Amino acid sequence: MSKIESILQDMELGLPPPKAPVANYLGTKRSGNLLYVSGRVSKLCGVVGVDVSEADAKIAARDTMLDILAIVKTDIGDLDIIHSILSMQGFVNSGPSFTAQPKVIDGASELLIALYGEAGKHARTATGVSQLPFGASIQLNAVMELK
Chain positions contacting a copy of itself, by CB under 8 A: 21-29, 31, 33-34, 36-39, 84-89, 91, 94-103, 105-106, 109-110, 113, 121-135, 139, 141, 143, 145
Cα torsion at 71, 29, 27, 98 (round to 10°)? 100
CB of 1 to a copy of itself, least distance (A): 26
Of 4 and 144, which has the nearer Cβ to a copy of itself? 144
We find the least distance from the C-beta atom of residue 4 to a copy of itself, in angstroms, to be 18
Which one, 1 or 124, has the nearer CB to a copy of itself?
124
* Sequence-separated (6 or more) residues with CB below 8 Å from residue 45: 134, 135, 136, 137
Q: How far is it, in rounded angstroms, from Cα 46 to Cα 113?
A: 27
The answer to whether the CB of 137 falls within 8 A of the CB of 40 is: no
What are 36's strand-pairing partners? Answer: 29, 143
Comparing CB distances to a copy of itself, the nearer of 79 and 144 is 144
Please name the amino acid found at residue 47. Answer: V
Task: Give how far Cα 81 sits from Cα of 34, 35, 99, 121, 135, Å.
Answer: 12, 11, 35, 16, 33
We find the least distance from the C-beta atom of residue 55 to a copy of itself, in angstroms, to be: 15
Least distance to a copy of itself from the beta carbon of 16, Å?
A: 19
Query: Which of residues 15 and 91 has its CB atom nearest to a copy of itself in the complex?
Result: 91
Q: How far is the CB of 137 from a copy of itself (least distance, A)?
A: 12
